[in-house]
Amino acid sequence: MENGAAKPVIVAIDGPSGTGKSSTSKAVAAQLGLSYLDTGAQYRAITWWMVTNGIDIEDPSAIAAVAGKPEIVSGTDPDNPTITVDGTDVSGPIRTQEVTSKVSAVSAVPEVRARITELQRSLAASAEVGMVVEGRDIGTTVLPDADLKIFLTASPEARAARRSGELKGADVNATREALIKRDAADSSRKTSPLAKADDAVEVDTTELTLPQVIECVVTLVEEKRAGK
């Protein structure tokens, strides 16, 4: 950072799953010395808590009633992002198929979004060096005043292939169907839908390698910093 007085920069990276969002966000944060926040992990964490505690996922009012109960703590080191619920490390359990299949329903409940959004804003506000915040509604709802907003996209085929690579043994077609279904659910929900902010820079990652996407985003952040 130039003369140690660089202003903290808040970078919002949104987009559907399978666009390279997490890998890109983590790498950019690490490269530029910024904190990193995976907001999707927070929604997965509250979903895991609901499932573990036997809350009826089909009943929004039941979810709303307990949205304030779990204590969710996110570690923001891009080299070792952590997430705990009531003191328990849940970084593994939140990635199960059971949680993945229920996260859209839980995330759609306004009380859940209000709770998690508040958590995200306080983390971003306290990031001394700045932060890369990755999610689906960061640029539009959570941090509309972010210094830089990036929206990553990719074709459904490319995204499914990447996701199946992550989900061992997954069928590409089934993964593609699941992705399209989840996008539809997240894009059409009334509260903070998945959407591209008007002032976001769109980066189509279909034909790009991960290092190319990272390089592109790092350049955008550096240009933003230099222009301040």
Give residue-wise pLDDT tens across range 143-182: 999 999 999 999 888 888 877 777 666 677 887 788 778 7
Q: Percent of the chain at pLDDT above 90?
A: 69
Instruction: Name, in order, each residue with C-beta under 8 angstroms of 58's C-beta and a sequence gap of 6 or more.
Output: 105
Give the integer Cα–Cα distance in Å for 199 and 217: 15
CA nearest 209: which of 25, 36, 24, 30?
24
Copy the structure tokens of residue 103. Answer: 């996260």
Residue 23 annotated as lining a ligand binding site: yes
Say which CATH architecture domain 9-34+127-221 belongs to: 3-Layer(aba) Sandwich (3.40)
Task: Tell whether residue 19 is among the known ligand binding residues.
Answer: yes
Question: How is the chain split into domains, by residue range?
Answer: 9-34+127-221, 40-112
Q: What is the mean pLDDT of the segment spanning 28-51? A: 97
Task: Tell which residue, 222, 204, 37, has the closest CA to residue 147.
Answer: 222
Q: For 48-89, how does the pLDDT look when each residue is reduced to its tens digit (9 = 90+)?
A: 999 999 999 999 999 999 999 999 999 999 999 999 999 999
Cα(199)–Cα(220) distance, integer angstroms: 13
pTM of the model: 0.86
Q: Looking at residue 40, what is its pLDDT? A: 92
20 is in an annotated binding site: yes
Is residue 18 annotated as involved in ligand binding? yes
Whole-angstrom distance, CA of residue 139 vs CA of residue 151: 9
SS (H, E, C) the chain: CHHHCCCCEEEEEECCCCCCHHHHHHHHHHHHCCEEEEHHHHHHHHHHHHHHCCCCCCCHHHHHHHCCCCCEEEECCCCCCEEEECCEECCCHHHCHHHHHHHHHHHCCHHHHHHHHHHHHHHHHCCCCEEEEEECCHHHHHCCCCCEEEEEECCHHHHHHHHHHHCCCCCHHHHHHHHHHHHHHHHHCCCCCCCCCCCCEEEECCCCCHHHHHHHHHHHHHHHHHCC
Q: Is 16 annotated as a binding residue?
A: yes
Would the annotation count 139 as a binding residue?
no
